[in-house]
A and B are shown apart, each in its own frame.
Chain A
Amino acid sequence: MTAVMVAEGLAKSFGDLQAVDGVGFSINEGETYGLLGPNGAGKTTTISMIAGLLEPDEGEVRVGGDRISPRAVTPKRRMGLVPQELAIYPDLTARENLEFFGRLYGMGGVGLSQRADRVLEVVGLAERQKDLTKEFSGGMKRRLNIGIGLLHSPELLILDEPTAGVDPQSRNAILEAVEELSTAGIAVLYTTHYMEEAERLCDRVGIIDQGKIIAEGTRRELVEMVGEKDRVSITGTGPVAEVVRKLSSTVGVAEAGESESGVTLLVEDSSSHLAAILSTAAQAGMVVSGVEIEQPDLEAVFLHLTGKALRDV
């Protein structure tokens, strides 16, 4: 996989405050990378440096191999930014907003017009393209906000909490659009307070706290890192005590016990071991009528690592 963006040793301080301290990560082509952290953790400062809005005190960011800075032009052509706050002009129409930012990326003529048509379709605003955006609902503005970031077909798209404050319908449309980006090969840097969004969208996640990335990896890697295990509940009839005894010695099972309707297990990576577990239960004489798996989520990982629930911060 080719790394579209590489950040190394980023550091930035404001007076005595060390906002970012040695942050580094990379995002590959077609990969969605989630940056999670509480308010004041350094997410916005990190994003600002990656987007070329802030000059880092130390370290560097390369996009497509070119070093980025506030005055760099070439690498910025490869990036799109969707800021958390709506960054659109209320007295311009949806199409005028798109075309204005498209021109700043060097687009023009028929190409710009056709691309604007396509993006308006993608964000579901084709029928309202000639309306001033001040007449739009919050969700429509959010979708246009994302559309502007997509217009010039960037290699890297930075989405800073794009679903904050939107209705469920618009939120789902946004998430679907982001999912399509990764299949189109676009690298996405995604920050959110909604853990389920990170779990749904992100191939890898970096957890940032007090200016440092304290953990990074796939969801599974992060869960394993903090020792969280899957809870597997097997419903059925048969010699439950015998089933529990045999499952206790099965590979991947950390703990097994009886429950009202069957057996409950704590398993490391249930997806890898589920087949062996069910086979063992059947061999022990259990007639299985149902299986329920509860995997530990990023919320639990975040809580474990930072001591704070993400939505409380």
Chain B
Amino acid sequence: MRNIIHIAAKDLRLRIRDKSVFIIGLIAPLALAFIFNTVFGGAFGDDGTFAPALGIVETNADQTNSTLERITSQLGGTWQTFADPAAAEAALDDGDVGAVFVVPDSFDADLAGGQIGEIEVLGAIDAGTSTQIAAGIARNYTNSLQTTQVAIASAISAGGDPADIIPAAIDATDQSLISLGEVDADVRQLDTNTSTVAGMAMFFLLFTAQTGLLSLLEERRDGTLQRILATPTRPASVLAAKSIVSIVLGVFSLLVLIVAGIVLMDAKWGNPLGVALLVIGGVLAAVGISAVTTGMAKTPEQAGNIQGIVATVLGLLGGAFFPIGQNGGILAQVTALTPHYWFSRGLSDLAGGQPASAAFGAVGWLLLIASVTSAIAAILSRKQISP
């Protein structure tokens, strides 16, 4: 046991001395979280809720675009009207709006004649999310108008009263557009800033967690592992020491990110005990996965490459970059196999002042991932630990 502590202490000293752990564990995830926050920032409000700043170019004052305005209002966003496209582009450049609808002058006339005009969307280059949302609204708006036309025509030809049919059809159109903004209840509970920091934290945790284990391959390459194994130190003790270093660095990295998230990005993590349990579960799962990838490699470089691929794939599947699981289908199933998903899920479960017990389910899944991967790693690492 004493030798485990001596080896772990030496490794921690070396990692702190070469400063790599600070870059991987702190600077990189914080920087990326800031970048993500900036990208999404045009579409989300100070409290992290969805709030796009949209506008419309109205060159034909006779047209009413109340539906588009109402949708934007109901989404919690702001709305501006521009007299011409040049004014709209200036506002986009200044960052006053994220996207602007440009409705053709003949839109209403075309509609009356049974034609659907094309609504153009102008977007700010640094507000991609708002632009995509605006484009989606415009596309669905025109699609639904087309559907409404067909429905009204069918109802009238079937003998219906136009005075009743038309208002009902228009109301149905509005409702279908508004439903575009609905998202899965599990994810909705976690505000955007917290979700962004959590995703980045788990993504980079896989790199931080590998740091300790990677030194096993480095020591093997450099000959110091052979020398350690020639001392009264059991091979399992070396493996335990490396795992402890990974766990310590992972917990430290996550805790600092959590604090930084609160201070810098107003992240809301929830019940501290629940968060602590999630941190431990998340770190153990990340260390388990890292142990598997390290166990598969013959050199530190190879292990780093494998880990990069695994971390990226798991990050994508786990929703570290965007909520892929919300697309449903097989992705919704696969995302549940990643620690990223359960870490974010656990934080979501804690949101809104829930007690620590709300995260028990997610913590359980994280520990299950840790157990399975550790068992696999124990088999794989036998080669690494032999001189």
Chain A residues with a Cβ under 8 A of chain B: 48, 51-54, 70-71, 73-74, 76-77, 79, 81, 83, 85-89, 91-92, 96, 100-101, 103-106, 148
Contact = CB atoms under 8 A, between A and B. Distances in A.
B14 A83 contact: no
B70 interface: no
Interface string B288-304: 00000000000000000
Given A83-B223, A85-B223, A104 B235 contact: no
Nearest to A48: B387
30 contacts: A51-B230, A54-B387, A70-B229, A70-B386, A71-B235, A73-B233, A74-B232, A79-B230, A81-B227, A81-B230, A83-B223, A83-B226, A85-B222, A85-B223, A87-B226, A88-B224, A89-B10, A91-B17, A91-B18, A92-B13, A101-B231, A103-B6, A104-B3, A104-B228, A104-B232, A104-B233, A105-B231, A105-B232, A106-B232, A148-B227
Given A87-B223, A89-B10, A103-B6, A53 B230 contact: yes
Contacts of B229: 52-53, 70
Contact of B227 (A74, A77, A83): A83
A106 B229 CA distance: 14
Contacts of A88: 224
Contact of A91 (B6, B14, B231, B235): B14
B95 to A, nearest CB: 47
B383 interface: no
Contact of B232 (A77, A91, A92): A77
Interface string B205-238: 0000000000000000011101111111111000
Interface of B: 2-3, 6-7, 10, 13-14, 17-18, 222-224, 226-235, 386-387
A53 B228 CA distance: 10
Contacts of B224: 87-89
Contacts of A104: 3, 6-7, 228, 231-233
Given A53-B230, A83-B226, A101-B231, A92 B10 contact: yes
A105 to B, nearest CB: 6
Given A73-B233, A81-B226, 16 more contacts: A52-B229, A52-B230, A70-B229, A71-B235, A76-B230, A85-B222, A87-B222, A87-B223, A89-B10, A89-B14, A92-B14, A100-B6, A101-B231, A103-B3, A104-B228, A104-B233
B10 A76 contact: no
Contacts of A85: 222-223
Q: 8 closest Cβ contacts across the A-B interface?
A: A81-B230, A87-B227, A104-B231, A87-B223, A73-B232, A85-B223, A53-B387, A76-B232
B227 A101 contact: yes
B228 to A, nearest CB: 7
Nearest to A103: B6
Nearest to B7: A104
A86 B227 CA distance: 10
Contact of A53 (B2, B6, B226): B226
Contacts of B232: 73-74, 76-77, 104-106
Contacts of B227: 81, 83, 87, 101, 148
Contacts of A48: 387
B22 to A, nearest CB: 15
Contacts of B223: 83, 85-87
B355 to A, nearest CB: 44
A57 to B, nearest CB: 15
A96 B13 CA distance: 11
Contact of A71 (B10, B17, B226, B234): B234
A71 B233 CA distance: 8
A291 to B, nearest CB: 48
A61 to B, nearest CB: 13
A307 B6 CA distance: 48
Nearest to B225: A87
Contacts of B18: 91
A86 B219 CA distance: 11
A52 B18 CA distance: 32
Contacts of A77: 232
A51 B229 CA distance: 9
Most buried by A among B228, B229, B230, B234: B230
A100 B230 contact: no
A76 B233 CA distance: 9
Contacts of A53: 226, 229-230, 387
A85 B222 CA distance: 8
Nearest to A75: B232
Nearest to A79: B230
B227 to A, nearest CB: 4
Contacts of A103: 2-3, 6
A134 to B, nearest CB: 11
B385 to A, nearest CB: 9
Contacts of B6: 100, 103-104
Nearest to A54: B387
Contacts of A83: 223, 226-227
B12 to A, nearest CB: 12
Nearest to B385: A70
A6 to B, nearest CB: 18
A105 B229 CA distance: 11
A310 B78 CA distance: 86
A149 to B, nearest CB: 9
A85 to B, nearest CB: 4
A91 B386 CA distance: 24
A71 B221 CA distance: 21
Contacts of B231: 76, 101, 104-105
A104 B219 CA distance: 16
Contacts of B226: 53, 81, 83, 87
B60 to A, nearest CB: 72
B26 to A, nearest CB: 20
A87 B387 CA distance: 13
Given A53-B387, A85-B223, A73 B10 contact: no
A77 B235 CA distance: 15
